[in-house]
Structure 1
Amino acid sequence: MDSNLSRFTNPKGSSCSATQNLYVANCGPAVGISFEDIKSFFSTFGEVVGIHVADDSGTRVIVCYSELTAAEAAFRTLNGCHCGALGGRILHIRYSILQLKQKVNDNDSLFVSLVSSELAIPGIHLVHDFITSEEEQELLAAVDSKPWKNLSKRRVQHYGYEFLYEVNDYPPGIGLSPHIDTHSAFDDMICSLSLAGPCIMEFRKYLLGSCLLRKAIFLPPRSMLLLSGEGRYSWHHYIPHRKVDIVQGKMIRRCSKRVSFTFRKVRSGPCKCKFSQYCDSQKDI
């Protein structure tokens, strides 16, 4: 269900030329219908090669067939009809046009891991329920009692060295740009505790400016993410800027607030890691 190389538009009206891709409204995770159920149902008309999120609402999807005749059959049979297999919902369908795009779309259906073993990046570990609900409320009350420093899209509080950005407050929809924490500034281990709201963190492996690999993991409230070794030194980490995340076919809206505690130790001396192509300490060696 990956749409990295394409995007879809929905022509107004049903009189446009038929295509292999159907825009289906009143159908999706927000109304309790998973991608798996959608694919199973629409596969009765022919081979479905992809199910894609049409927008952030979670109520509209793009169904892609391998054959035009299958899309036409599904359109004729289902448009405007009650579908008992999909909760009795009335589907509103249009043909959708596939267009090439030049860059990765943050809203595509990248598979999202729930545990770090699924992510399979050396050095990245996620610990669920690292603190209790009571401890979470105590920490949130503590940071809210102190002044925040406003950045361009989020707020921070500093503890110790100001460069650390150790507490971040994320309004809904605001994420974090892809980056690797500076090698020369911080030691190997970086820990990040998520409070209040959930989000997806994506990891990207780049070579010569191009993204080679993309993986993502779901960070629930009260979880602790540990970054070390390869995962810390050579993978960019990133929180997409959006208000709705799709996690294994389910729509999860971001809360009105998310706070992260990020713990780093200041490095003494240059970094000597084995990931020299990403290391600012070893650029001139």
Structure 2
Amino acid sequence: MGLPRFSRPKGVDSELSPNLYVANCGPAVGLSFDTIASVFSTFGEVKGVYPADDSGARVIVSYFEESAAQAALKALDGHPCPALGGRFLHIRYSIFQPPSQVNDSVPVSLVDSELNIPGIYLLHDFVSAKEEEELLAAVDKMSWKSLSKRRVQHYGYEFCYETRNVNTKQYLGKLPSFVSAIVERISSFPNLESAADIVLDQLTVNEYPPGVGLSPHIDTHSAFEGFIFSLSLAGPCIMDFRRYTEGVWPKSASSSDMSVEYPDKSSSFLRRAIYLPPRSMLLLSGEARYAWHHYIPHHKIDMVKDSVIRRGPRRVSFTFRKVRTGPCQCEFPQYCDSPR
């Protein structure tokens, strides 16, 4: 069951509510939800403490009684709170919004089997903490290319964001030696009979600052073969997936991040989401690779099984692929750019 939703905060003189919007308070300023609940419970029984938005610096404190909220607002609004590190809190009333008034969020899976998407595999702890540190140090010694919101590095072949494809005539050389052990480990990827025959020749390293995600897209069919491996390092994130109905195709492409826009909101689609912890390896193959849009929401905080997960100061992904040299022959022509 998802967390409750609340409307924009109301003014101090507005109608009373058992829910308080509290600014300058939350994980981003070093205050846990348990600590906040403990402090506010001195004014009455607290039903729950929830993130007010993606900032991590604003929360909703929900009481069972309006009188408790009124007492807390009167005592804490605009005053330093010693129990919360002396922070000055800014508090307003907030109104609970019934589920019918908001878009239901998709449940976030922790394992691939919960997604019910053929072709998705997720392995936790694919690399060790030491290997993660070494990989990050290795890429930080290399040159980054800046995009509008993130930085990238390309190896083997450069991905051209303007065309959403690769130029096979511009070979950059073999994949760097610092990923050799990772490529070898991929060859023994479980649950995939032909993994040992995979020859990966393209690597894209993405660095995501806090709150920056990836727009929805299907990797161009004609650009890459059927296996896409993505290693998450440094910070966690949520990856969402959408499968649109037959014949529905996004309107246009965005050259900045090999993405495509969604169809109209009225379009029908299936939606799934999975949590990618640091050091995990995600494989997209088959239907998951060819027919499902995947993207990373632009959030600083994610909700996973009613728990708040704050993204780290950076997330770095290593995406390994095999450049396609002939036309795609997949079973999903409605999503394919290769002529049939």
- Asked if TM exceeds 0.5, the reply is yes
What is the TM-score normalised by the length of structure 2? 0.62
- Cα distance in 1, alignment partners of residues 213 and 279 from structure 2: 18
* Counterpart among 245, 262, 284 of residue 319 in structure 2: 262
> In structure 2, do the counterparts of structure 1 residues 216 and 58 end up closer, same or farther at CA, with 3 Å as the change threshold?
farther
> In structure 2, do the counterparts of structure 1 residues 215 and 266 end up closer, same or farther at CA, with 3 Å as the change threshold?
same
Correspondence for 2:213 = 175
Whether the 8 Å CA contact 2:11–2:92 is kept in 1: the answer is no
Whether the 8 Å CA contact 2:243–2:291 is kept in 1: the answer is yes
Whether the 8 Å CA contact 1:62–1:96 is kept in 2: the answer is no
* Counterpart among 128, 131, 145 of residue 132 in structure 1: 128
What is the TM-score normalised by the length of structure 1? 0.73
- Cα distance in 2, alignment partners of residues 24 and 146 from structure 1: 44
Whether the 8 Å CA contact 1:25–1:60 is kept in 2: the answer is yes
- In structure 2, the gaps of 5 or more residues are 35-44, 73-82, 85-90, 160-201, 249-262
Aligned partner letter, 2:291: S
- Cα distance in 2, alignment partners of residues 124 and 80 from structure 1: 51
Correspondence for 2:37 = none
Q: Determine if the alignment matches structure 1 residue 166 to structure 2 residue 204.
A: yes
Correspondence for 1:11 = 10
Aligned to 1:266, the other structure's residue is in SS state coil
Q: Deviations over 1:235-274 (max 9, x none)?
A: 1111111222222222222111211110110112211212
Aligned to 2:319, the other structure's residue is in SS state strand
- Cα distance in 2, alignment partners of residues 281 and 156 from structure 1: 27
> In structure 2, do the counterparts of structure 1 residues 248 and 80 end up closer, same or farther at CA, with 3 Å as the change threshold?
farther
Point out the structure with max Rg over C-alpha: 2
Correspondence for 1:218 = 275
Correspondence for 1:96 = 95
- Cα distance in 1, alignment partners of residues 275 and 301 from structure 2: 12
1:79 is displaced (CA, Å) by: 4.2
- Cα distance in 1, alignment partners of residues 57 and 108 from structure 2: 16
Aligned partner letter, 1:184: S
Q: Deviations over 1:1-37 (max 9, x none)?
A: 559xx97222112x43578x9456499886345xxxx
Whether the 8 Å CA contact 2:20–2:69 is kept in 1: the answer is no
Correspondence for 2:146 = 150
Aligned partner letter, 1:224: M
Aligned partner letter, 1:182: T
Correspondence for 1:55 = 53
> In structure 2, do the counterparts of structure 1 residues 111 and 62 end up closer, same or farther at CA, with 3 Å as the change threshold?
farther
> In structure 2, do the counterparts of structure 1 residues 278 and 119 end up closer, same or farther at CA, with 3 Å as the change threshold?
same
Aligned to 2:66, the other structure's residue is in SS state helix
Q: Deviations over 1:63-93 (max 9, x none)?
A: 7xxxxxxx9x732455436xxxxxx99xx77
Whether the 8 Å CA contact 1:244–1:252 is kept in 2: the answer is yes
Alignment of 1:181-260 (within 5 A): 181-207=219-245, 208=248, 209=263, 210=267, 212-260=269-317
- Cα distance in 2, alignment partners of residues 236 and 113 from structure 1: 17
Whether the 8 Å CA contact 1:10–1:97 is kept in 2: the answer is no
- Cα distance in 1, alignment partners of residues 101 and 323 from structure 2: 38
Identity in percent: 54
Aligned partner letter, 1:132: S
Q: Deviations over 1:196-242 (max 9, x none)?
A: 11111111222332352222111111100000011111111111112
**Bigger mean CA deviation after superposition, 157-166 or 217-226:** 157-166
- Cα distance in 1, alignment partners of residues 222 and 280 from structure 2: 27
